[in-house]
A and B are shown apart, each in its own frame.
Chain A
């Protein structure tokens, strides 16, 4: 194969020409790099949740049909949310626990906005199973809240972990009451 040809050597005016050439080449490379980065961004961004997913990222729930002592399950962002219309006894039980003794210390007041409405994500903080306790026929464990059948975690009437392997209390999602009868979750 023919050997590589050497470009003809440039003369004394190299330095000027060379530095101009370097600047040009730096500019060219930089622009190309910017171009590549600009191209990559839309591809990465396309993996973000799309508009239809975001449209379901908050839901409004009508609380009127949920009687005192009843529990409602709704689907939010792909997993269940437990809505508990707590009885005065349940509220009292939740408030009278010694917070310091809890694995994940949290007073009940920090977990509710209106005491009679407990809203928590129905996902066990151990490994993600859905705890039992929403139906009146379900076992609720010894603390009156929820019982996770997978590994035996038990939650109280504030959704806090009391027994079993789960490390944290049931997560309280962002929510707000939009009118007396409705709550907006997410």
Chain B
């Protein structure tokens, strides 16, 4: 009876997180923006799993890939997508988790260079009471392509979501984002596309996404010379977005190792102490 209880408890403790992880990975990703879910959506195809450098208890970010992903963001994605929770200084040595490998000077240069959307920081008011534009500085947030969501909706028809937390904000995480980016294809025969300029995507819930396919071969020229295939670009942007969603992940996992080793040791000693003290009761 007791053994049954222990067995059930142990099974529950193991099954719970495994089930939770499975649930999160296979659960239908939440529908985005205000776009209509297609009523014809039958069983969604399951997300093909990918392997990432940051998977698992010892995973780390591949800084070269993350830097290429940042280049993609600044040259492609920032046309429409903001990343309001990131600051330029996050990319450098004083950033959370130690940054993505840029030096302080490089960060200053990056901050001062506008993204593809060309916008500058709105600062002020100055002594005349006016707001003015100026180039970015390390302590500024990533400059947003639009001033407010209404402006985005007016320009693009839908509000492109902020990307700062996109990996954590979608069931399926990095796999979902990657699969979505490479999942554009022609709609299958008989599938009726809705009104407006919608695009068919295999993994987007409802299959109709307002974003046109953002990645093509050689969409950018990588600074480190890596060949920019669509697949490579999708991997790199996903790596960057994963870092952006949780820059402190590596610190977390490293700290976890130390904490768990200490706890295992301490618990072992406590167990021995317990047995010792209880000897005379048995």
Q: Do chains A and B touch in the complex (CB under 8 A)?
A: yes
A31 in contact with B87 (CB, 8 Å): no
Q: For chain B, what secondary structure do more than half of its interface residues adopt (helix, strand, loop), or is it mixed?
A: helix
A-B contact pairs, 24 of them (CB 8 A): A7-B281, A8-B280, A20-B276, A21-B276, A24-B272, A24-B273, A24-B276, A25-B276, A25-B277, A28-B266, A28-B269, A28-B270, A31-B262, A31-B265, A31-B269, A32-B266, A35-B263, A35-B266, A51-B94, A52-B87, A54-B94, A55-B87, A55-B94, A55-B138
**Chain A interfacial positions (CB closer than 8 Å to B):** 7-8, 10, 20-21, 24-25, 27-28, 31-32, 34-35, 38, 51-52, 54-56
Complex Cα distance, B263 from A31, in Å, reads 9
A51 in contact with B89 (CB, 8 Å): yes
Which residues of chain B are near A55, meaning CB under 8 Å? 87, 89, 94, 138-139
**Chain B interfacial positions (CB closer than 8 Å to A):** 87, 89, 94-96, 138-139, 259, 262-263, 265-266, 269-270, 272-273, 276-277, 280-281
Closest 8 CB pairs of A and B: A55-B139, A28-B273, A31-B266, A7-B280, A24-B273, A21-B276, A55-B89, A28-B269
The residue among B139, B259, B265, B270 with the most chain A CB atoms within 10 A of its own CB is B139
Say yes or no: A21-B277 contact (C-beta < 8 A), given A28-B270, A31-B266: yes
Complex Cα distance, B272 from A52, in Å, reads 46
The residue among A25, A31, A35, A56 with the most chain B CB atoms within 10 A of its own CB is A31
Closest chain A CB from B253 CB (angstroms): 16
B269 in contact with A56 (CB, 8 Å): no
> Which B-chain residue is minimally distant from A9 (CB atoms)?
B280
A27 in contact with B277 (CB, 8 Å): no
Which residues of chain A are near B95, meaning CB under 8 Å? 51
Closest chain A CB from B243 CB (angstroms): 16
> Which B-chain residue is minimally distant from A56 (CB atoms)?
B139
Which residues of chain A are near B280, meaning CB under 8 Å? 7-8, 10
B266 in contact with A25 (CB, 8 Å): no
Closest chain A CB from B267 CB (angstroms): 9
> Which B-chain residue is minimally distant from A27 (CB atoms)?
B269
Complex Cα distance, B276 from A21, in Å, reads 7
Which residues of chain A are near B281, meaning CB under 8 Å? 7
Complex Cα distance, B263 from A157, in Å, reads 62
Closest chain A CB from B153 CB (angstroms): 30
Complex Cα distance, B262 from A7, in Å, reads 32
**4 more A-B contacts (CB under 8 A) besides A20-B276, A52-B87, A56-B139?**
A10-B280, A21-B273, A28-B272, A51-B94
> Which A-chain residue is minimally distant from B271 (CB atoms)?
A28
A24 in contact with B139 (CB, 8 Å): no
Complex Cα distance, B277 from A7, in Å, reads 10
> Which B-chain residue is minimally distant from A26 (CB atoms)?
B273
A25 in contact with B139 (CB, 8 Å): no
Complex Cα distance, B272 from A25, in Å, reads 9
